[in-house]
């Protein structure tokens, strides 16, 4: 699913209006009807008071049109116009006239107005700003938004929570509505997936308002949301007459005294995701633990007892994952530098390999083209430097990806894969995966996919998705708190099965729900 920016959404509106020979008012009516149907399907005329807060632009026009449909179907509504400017959009005025023609008289809220009384069991519809906001709200509007939150009522935002910008962060955390649910027109918005804006969007859904499919299909976007439908075509089925040699020989390189467990996790994950052969390269202290924990893997040891000091091996791996538990000793830095000189194929670099790169910037030029870097937020900051907001973070990540010809996997909720100017946002996973070793498992998954012949970008996207799906399946049985990195490994088989499961029909979904 593509994630469009504000300019592209406005362009899609204009293109649709021109091609389909409709007016902007008719397009707004489509949007309001979709909003109404979504609400009506869930409420079925429930006697709940609905407070609509409408701005004076097109987002407010959507809210006014929704109010009309709600009133016509017997809902108890109160309409409030947030009068933050003297300018009004034509479609807002059209829908205001329609309300007045039905004897619905909105409350006009200004800077000196008392806030409406709202009960905790009421519903609030936020249609104040939408996607067109270009400056921070006036102080009295901020106070209004704080009041909405303080009521404890359920808040439904139209398109985006009011106060959020589409292309930059907000100046103050209090400057936006915290929505319980967001109904987004046609496609999700980037702000739905960023750490800094997560508090404003608890849940969301997309409403199809009939924007022209040709425009949507042909318009290129920087960001795409990756779900099962987008990931499934990446899967490479196994052939009947195949053997372990067909699925590559992966090398997991890392470990130091006290951190051999990280290599065990990554090696196990690499095997379980489907690599034909896996060898772990570790300091001598890691030999016995790995041979016991991973009997299917082979083990090579460095000359160093407690940390890697000179990387030497007599094999040609089809994929390498390096850095897990590696440490940053002086000899280890030199060994990694020499190894990068010799390594020409794309590889996965994680953990201390990234810390070494951050501390020794000249080594960045040695990264093989197409390599996959998998930093957590602090490791990313060490690579890029600080950023003022998540939008700048993504911009700097894309620039780093271009300059160093690599793929960056920004780990976290909605893990984002940046490959040059394109970014792919993962749409599964859960808070239970915020646990020690989860990142080591991801490195093993991606390395194992690389070894099987997946192209680097496909391996990164597919590995992140399988990682999240396995975590979700594990959480359904174990809960968030009990989930461990080994749980993710244990559920990778079920993740493959779930990926290949045909979509359920409506009848099957109904039967499952009733059961």
Question: Is residue 274 a known part of a binding site?
Answer: no
* C-alpha to C-alpha distance for 24 and 11, rounded to whole angstroms: 12
Give just the sign of the alpha carbon dihedral 5, 10, 11, 15: positive
DSSP for 441-509, please give it: HHHHHHHHHHHTT--HHHHHHHHHHHHHHHHHHHHHHHHHHH--HHHHHHTHHHHHHHHHSPPPPHHHH
Go through 171-189 and write b for each residue having 16 or more CB atoms within 10 A of its CB, e for each that does not.
eeeebbbbbeebbbbbbbb
Question: Is residue 61 a known part of a binding site?
Answer: yes
323 contacts 266 by C-beta, under 8 angstroms: no
Question: What are the strands of the beta sheet with 181-185, ordered from one edge?
Answer: 107-109, 76-82, 49-54, 123-127, 154-158, 181-185, 204-207
Question: Is residue 325 a known part of a binding site?
Answer: yes
How many C-alpha atoms does 175 have within 13 Å on its Cβ side? 17
Give just the sign of the alpha carbon dihedral 411, 415, 418, 421: negative
Question: Is residue 11 a known part of a binding site?
Answer: no
* C-alpha to C-alpha distance for 467 and 323, rounded to whole angstroms: 19
Question: Is residue 122 a known part of a binding site?
Answer: no
Question: Is residue 415 a known part of a binding site?
Answer: yes
Question: Is residue 376 a known part of a binding site?
Answer: yes
235 contacts 499 by C-beta, under 8 angstroms: yes
Question: Is residue 412 a known part of a binding site?
Answer: yes
* C-alpha to C-alpha distance for 130 and 408, rounded to whole angstroms: 31
Question: Is residue 74 a known part of a binding site?
Answer: no
Question: Is residue 439 a known part of a binding site?
Answer: yes
Question: Is residue 55 a known part of a binding site?
Answer: no
Burial of 74 (C-beta count, 10 Å sphere; 0-12/13-18/19+)? exposed
* C-alpha to C-alpha distance for 124 and 66, rounded to whole angstroms: 13
Question: Is residue 245 a known part of a binding site?
Answer: no
The CA–CA distances, whole Å, from 180 to 78, 169, 177 equal 19, 20, 10
Residue linked to tokens 């390599």: 371
Question: Is residue 243 a known part of a binding site?
Answer: no
How many C-alpha atoms does 363 have within 13 Å on its Cβ side? 20
Question: Is residue 471 a known part of a binding site?
Answer: no
Q: Which residues contact 237 (CB under 8 A, 6 or more apart)?
A: none
396 contacts 464 by C-beta, under 8 angstroms: no
Question: Is residue 429 a known part of a binding site?
Answer: no
Phi-psi region of 330 (alpha: psi -120 to 50; beta: other; left: phi over 0): alpha
Question: Is residue 262 a known part of a binding site?
Answer: yes
Q: Which parts are annotated binding residues for K(+)?
A: 59, 126, 162
Q: Which parts are annotated binding residues?
A: 58-62, 126, 159, 162, 262, 325, 376, 411-415, 439-440
Q: Which parts are annotated binding residues for AMP?
A: 411-415, 439
Q: Which parts are annotated binding residues for (6S)-NADPHX?
A: 58-62, 159, 262, 325, 376, 440
């Amino acid at each position: 699913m593509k994630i469009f920016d504000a300019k592209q959404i406005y362009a899609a509106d204009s293109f649709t209006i021109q091609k389909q020979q409709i007016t902007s008012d008719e397009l707004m009516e489509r949007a309001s009807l979709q909003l109404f149907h979504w609400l009506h399907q869930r409420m079925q005329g429930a006697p709940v008071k609905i407070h609509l807060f409408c701005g004076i632009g097109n987002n407010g026009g959507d809210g006014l049109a929704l109010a009309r449909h709600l009133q016509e179907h017997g809902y108890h509504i109160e309409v409030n116009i947030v009068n933050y400017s003297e300018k009004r959009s034509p479609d807002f005025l059209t829908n205001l006239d329609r309300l007045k023609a039905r004897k619905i008289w909105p409350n006009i809220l200004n800077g000196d107005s008392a806030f409406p009384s709202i009960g905790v069991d009421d519903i609030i519809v936020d249609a104040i700003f939408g996607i067109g906001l270009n400056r921070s709200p006036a102080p009295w509007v901020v106070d209004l938004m704080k009041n909405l939150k303080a009521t404890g009522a359920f808040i439904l935002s139209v398109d985006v929570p009011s106060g959020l910008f589409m292309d930059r962060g907000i100046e103050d955390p209090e400057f936006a509505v915290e929505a319980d649910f967001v109904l987004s027109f046609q496609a999700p918005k980037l702000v739905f997936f960023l750490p800094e804006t997560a508090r404003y969007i608890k849940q969301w859904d997309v409403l199809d308002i009939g924007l022209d499919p040709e425009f949507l299909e042909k318009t290129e976007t920087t960001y795409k949301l990756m779900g099962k439908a987008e990931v499934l075509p990446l899967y490479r089925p196994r052939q009947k007459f195949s053997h372990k040699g067909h699925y590559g020989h992966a090398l997991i390189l890392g470990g130091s005294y006290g951190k051999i467990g990280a290599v065990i996790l990554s090696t196990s994950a690499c095997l379980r995701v489907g690599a034909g052969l896996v060898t772990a390269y570790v300091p001598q202290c890691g030999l016995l633990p790995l041979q016991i924990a991973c009997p299917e893997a082979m083990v090579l040891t460095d000359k160093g007892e407690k940390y890697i000091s000179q990387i030497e091996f007599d094999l040609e791996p089809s994929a390498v994952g390096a850095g897990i538990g590696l440490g940053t000793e002086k000899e280890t830095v030199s060994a990694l530098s020499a190894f990068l000189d010799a390594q020409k194929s794309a590889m996965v670099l994680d953990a201390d390999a990234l810390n070494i790169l951050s501390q020794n910037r000249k080594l960045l030029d040695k990264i093989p083209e197409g390599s996959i870097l998998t930093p957590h937020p602090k490791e990313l900051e060490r690579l890029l430097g600080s950023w003022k907001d998540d939008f700048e973070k993504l911009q700097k990540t894309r620039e780093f990806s271009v300059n160093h010809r690599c793929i960056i996997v920004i780990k976290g909720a909605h893990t984002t894969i940046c490959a040059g100017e394109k970014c792919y946002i993962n749409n599964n996973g859960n808070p239970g995966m915020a646990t020690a070793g989860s990142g080591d498992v991801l490195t093993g998954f991606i390395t194992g996919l690389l070894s099987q012949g997946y192209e680097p970008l496909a391996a990164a996207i597919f590995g992140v998705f399988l990682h999240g799906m396995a975590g979700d399946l594990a959480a359904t049985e174990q809960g968030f708190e009990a989930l461990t990195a080994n749980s993710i490994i244990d559920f990778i088989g079920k993740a493959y099965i779930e990926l290949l499961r045909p979509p359920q029909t409506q009848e099957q979904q109904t039967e499952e729900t009733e059961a």
